[in-house]
């Protein structure tokens, strides 16, 4: 029964592809490739496989055209790929580890992809595996360059031995590698005699060929030695190829060497021999082999954390630190517990000096001996920690001494902020914060004083310029009451400055009677911040803040205006003084100019009124007529009420409010009429007008207003 190759595998097609157009295009392309290979390819195996695929082409097309069969084929392909990849996983991971130990080049990646592509490992698999590999370090030197047989001869011998299932020519003759030449020659002659009369067939022909190689190789000492070396090379071929892969990264690192030693141990090779081979491969490839030549790979390595690790380990099993580090002088890899290198560099004497200084409490000497380069050496890790603690202890001592001697500036200079959170510095941190705050406040006060003095000097200069220009507004703008105290030369200019501050009388003061109050209006000035509104019935006030007065700021006037309420009953003489402040004293204007005065002749307002009714059949409307004997800018609320009966109401209480009138402006002698709609009233009804402001005197009609 013919055994078919999986269709996806034969077509080199991804099992995830189900698009029939893609499958058909691949079948057509592969058919062309196989036809060409089946006729012209020089390799018999490739030619035979191409002929087989052409013979199975219809089978592949049938399997991939049916969705159900295609799904089965895809599952089988996936399983085949998985098993193939798994069978080469260990070798693949070893090659990845070797490649990741050094510099990864595109050429090295391409070679690895080419080697493992037949096992379904892609370039993406290689690059992701390299990215995931995180090992590193450095080292590798010299291979035995003994002569071997020609590779083509060894290949022919190996093919003939494999045909018969025999490992070596020694096994073919039935002798051991250590037997003498005479014995081997005798065995070879006996076999020659036996095969001379044997039947002619492929197997005997192979035996005759092998006997000829035995006679020409094993029976001669030099050729035998070369064959023995070829056998060694043949056994070492996987390891040597791995070494070449490691050298292709650009350097033979300690990680490479450790992996090679583990692989060599698995093959039964001695550590010394593997190191020698690695050194020779590195020299042949012209890559550095930076490993301490005196190191014994068979011994365990103690990590700085104290854990003793088994031989051939790259990292500590406990703390995962590197167990090999570069020499400070030559950069060759040396063990973490070693203080000497094959280059001649040694840290042992310096380590002993530092340890003695630390044990004897000679901290200053320890710091003098210490070099920061030692910190990179694992053997100095404990001393490095001690070195980091010494400055802290010395600082603590100096800070306490400065504090006890009262040297605050020295304390602030010595303080280091990184120690704030440590317990032994907690109390000193609070002291530092307090001293630093006081110093900062003092600096801010000095800076503020300097800025203030500079500002006052600038103001004084501007003030002198304003005085020279006879500009009172500018003098007021640049004046500051603190100038006389800060600058003594200001004293001589005080009379002129006071004269500039002396306010002038206002112009354009007006007053209007508004019924319940008198509204006083005047223009504002930027230089004036305070006003004094004074009034009297006898005449104008001579000085501010005498008699009846009211003090207003500029803002109060702008927000609420100026009123005299309640107004006096007789004529009201009004004066508005302007005021400014100068050196803690209030300066007022004279108040004698006509523009700052106003007179309201009478504060009481007489308003006459009449009510006339309208309507043909029913009096449902009325006209209220008002007449004032003087100007009223704003009439207070007037209320017209009605009371059943023929008796005139004496108050609005208990009466029906018919109409409310407010906010009118009345000119003297002019009549203002207001039409009113009357509600449904039943006669007889009596009407009367009332005012909510006692300053308005209503003059009632002589007759009772009745309906």
- Tens of pLDDT, residue by residue over 160-204, are 888 888 888 888 888 888 788 888 888 888 888 888 888 888 888
Q: What is the dihedral of CA 152, 154, 157, 162, to 10 degrees?
A: -110
Provide the pLDDT confidence category of residue 142 given band limits of 50, 70 and 90. Answer: very low
**pLDDT at residue number 617:** 62
Q: Which residues of 377-393 are buried (b: 16+ CB within 10 A; e: fewer)?
A: bbbbbebbebbeeeeee
Alpha carbons 6 and 74: distance in angstroms, whole number: 9
Range name among 220-229, 296-305, 321-330, 335-344 with the lowest pLDDT average: 335-344
* Residue 256 · residue 246 · CB < 8 Å: yes
Q: Which of 297-311, 354-368, 569-583 has the highest mean pLDDT?
A: 569-583
Angstrom distance (rounded) from CA 434 to CA 436: 5
Alpha carbon distance 138, 257 (integer Å) = 8
- Mean pLDDT of the 429-436 span: 86
| CB 502, CB 490: distance < 8 Å | no
**Beta strands 685-691 and 638-644, pairing class:** antiparallel
Say if residue 135's pLDDT is above 50. no
Q: Is the pLDDT of residue 686 over 60?
A: yes
In 3-state terms, the chain is what percent helix, strand and coil (to 5)? 50, 15, 35
Per-residue pLDDT band at 457 (split at 50, 70, 90)? confident
> What 3-state class would DSSP assign to 2?
coil
- Per-residue pLDDT at 294 exceeds 80: no
Q: Would you call 651 helix, strand, or coil by DSSP? A: coil
| Triad 157, 162, 165: Cα angle to 5° | 130
The contacts of residue 227 (CB under 8 Å, 6+ apart) are 149, 169, 217, 218
pLDDT band at residue 576 under the 50/70/90 scheme: very high
pLDDT at 2 over 70: no
pLDDT for the residue 377:
67
Distances (CA, A) of 707 to 361, 437, 601: 123, 89, 39
138 pLDDT more than 50: no
Phi and psi, residue 684, nearest 5°: -85, 145
Mean pLDDT of 47-61: 87
Give the model's confidence band at 305: pLDDT under 50 very low, under 70 low, under 90 confident, else very high: confident
Count of Cβ atoms closer than 10 Å to residue 8 Cβ: 26
From 206-220, 256-270, 416-430, 467-481, the region with the lowest mean pLDDT: 256-270
Instruction: Point out which residues pair with 628 in neighbouring strands.
Output: 607, 668
State what percent of residues in the chain have pLDDT above 70. 93
DSSP string, 396-443: HHHHHHHHHTT-HHHHHHH--GGGTTSGGGHHHHHHHHHHHHHHHHHH
**pLDDT, mean over the chain:** 81
Mean predicted confidence (pLDDT) in 523-538: 86
Q: Which residues contact 371 (CB under 8 A, 6 or more apart)?
A: none
* Structure-model confidence comparison of residues 336 and 401, the more confident one: 401
Q: What are phi and psi of 95, to 5 degrees?
A: -65, -40
Helix (H, G, I), strand (E, B), or coil: what is residue 222? helix
Give the separation between CA 410 and CA 399, rounded to whole angstroms.
8
pLDDT attached to residue 395 = 80
- DSSP code, position 506: P
**Three-state DSSP state, 686:** strand
Listed ranges 376-380, 446-450, 612-616; the one with the highest mean pLDDT: 446-450
| Residue 456 structure tokens | 């006052």
Domains recognised in the chain with CATH numbers: 7-87 (no CATH), 348-403 (no CATH), 415-501 (no CATH), 502-600 (2.60.40.10), 605-706 (2.60.40)
Please give the pLDDT value at position 342. 67
């Amino acid at each position: 029964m013919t055994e078919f190759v999986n269709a996806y595998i034969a077509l080199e097609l991804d099992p995830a592809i189900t698009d029939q157009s893609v499958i058909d295009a691949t079948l057509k392309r592969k058919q062309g490739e196989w036809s060409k290979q089946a006729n012209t390819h020089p390799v018999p195996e490739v030619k035979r496989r191409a002929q087989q695929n052409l013979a199975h082409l219809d089978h592949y097309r049938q399997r991939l055209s049916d969705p159900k069969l295609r799904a089965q084929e895809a599952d089988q392909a996936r399983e085949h790929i998985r098993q193939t990849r798994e069978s080469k996983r260990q070798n693949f991971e070893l090659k990845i580890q070797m490649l990741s130990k050094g510099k990864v080049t595109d050429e090295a990646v391409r070679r690895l992809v080419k080697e493992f592509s037949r096992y379904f490992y892609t370039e993406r698999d290689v690059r992701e595996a390299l990215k995931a590999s995180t090992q590193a370090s450095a080292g590798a030197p010299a291979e035995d360059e003994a002569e071997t047989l020609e590779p083509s001869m060894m290949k022919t011998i190996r093919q003939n031995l494999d045909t018969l299932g025999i490992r070596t020519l020694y096994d073919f003759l039935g002798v051991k590698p250590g037997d003498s030449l005479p014995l081997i020659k005798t065995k070879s002659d006996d076999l020659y005699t036996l095969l001379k009369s044997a039947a002619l067939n492929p197997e005997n022909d192979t035996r005759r060929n092998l006997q000829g190689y035995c006679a020409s190789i094993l029976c001669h000492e030099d050729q035998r030695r070369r064959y023995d070396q070829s056998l060694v090379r043949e056994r070492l071929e996987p390891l040597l190829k791995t070494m070449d892969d490691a050298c292709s990264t650009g350097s033979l690192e300690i990680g490479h060497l450790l992996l090679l030693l583990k692989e060599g141990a698995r093959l039964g090779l001695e550590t010394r021999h593997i190191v020698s081979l690695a050194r020779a491969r590195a020299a042949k490839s012209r890559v550095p082999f930076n490993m301490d030549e005196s190191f014994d790979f068979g011994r365990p390595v103690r990590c700085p954390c104290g854990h003793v690790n088994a031989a051939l380990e790259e990292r500590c099993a406990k703390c995962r630190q590197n167990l090999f580090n570069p020499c400070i002088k030559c950069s060759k890899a040396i063990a973490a517990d070693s203080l000497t290198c094959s280059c001649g560099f040694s840290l042992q004497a310096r380590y002993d000096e530092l340890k003695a200084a630390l044990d004897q409490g000679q901290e200053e000497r320890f710091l003098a001996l210490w070099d920061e380069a030692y910190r990179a050496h694992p053997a100095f890790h404990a001393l490095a920690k001690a070195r980091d603690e010494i400055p802290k202890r010395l600082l603590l001592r100096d800070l306490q001494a400065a504090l006890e001697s009262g040297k605050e500036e020295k304390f602030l200079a010595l303080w280091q902020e990184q120690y704030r959170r440590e317990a032994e510095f907690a109390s000193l941190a609070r002291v530092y914060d307090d001293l630093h705050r006081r110093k900062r406040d003092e600096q801010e006060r000095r800076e503020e004083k300097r800025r203030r003095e500079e500002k006052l000097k600038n103001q004084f200069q501007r003030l002198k310029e304003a005085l020279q220009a006879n500009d009172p507004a500018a003098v007021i703008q640049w004046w500051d009451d603190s100038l006389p105290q800060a600058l003594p030369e200001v004293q001589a200019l005080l009379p002129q400055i006071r004269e500039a501050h002396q306010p002038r009388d206002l112009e354009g003061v007006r007053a209007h009677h508004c019924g319940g109050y008198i509204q006083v209006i005047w223009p504002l000035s930027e230089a004036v911040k305070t006003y004094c509104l004074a009034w009297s019935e006898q005449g104008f006030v001579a000085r501010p803040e005498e008699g009846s007065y009211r003090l207003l700021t500029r803002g109060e006037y702008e927000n609420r205006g100026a009123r005299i309420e309640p107004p006096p009953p007789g004529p009201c003489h009004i004066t508005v003084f302007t005021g400014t402040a100068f050196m803690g004293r209030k300066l007022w204007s004279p108040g004698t100019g006509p523009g700052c005065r106003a007179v309201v002749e009478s504060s009481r307002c007489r308003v006459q009124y009449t009510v006339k009714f309208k309507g043909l059949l029913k009096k449902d409307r009325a006209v209220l007529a008002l007449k004032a004997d003087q100007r009223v800018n704003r009439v207070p609320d007037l209320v017209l009420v009605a009371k059943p009966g023929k008796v005139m109401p004496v108050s609005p209480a208990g009466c029906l409010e018919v109409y409310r009138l407010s906010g009118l402006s009345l000119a003297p002698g002019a009549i203002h009429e207001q039409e009113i709609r009357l509600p449904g009233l039943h006669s007889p009804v009596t009407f009367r007008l009332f005012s909510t402001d006692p300053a308005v005197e209503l003059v009632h009609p002589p007759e009772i207003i009745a309906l």
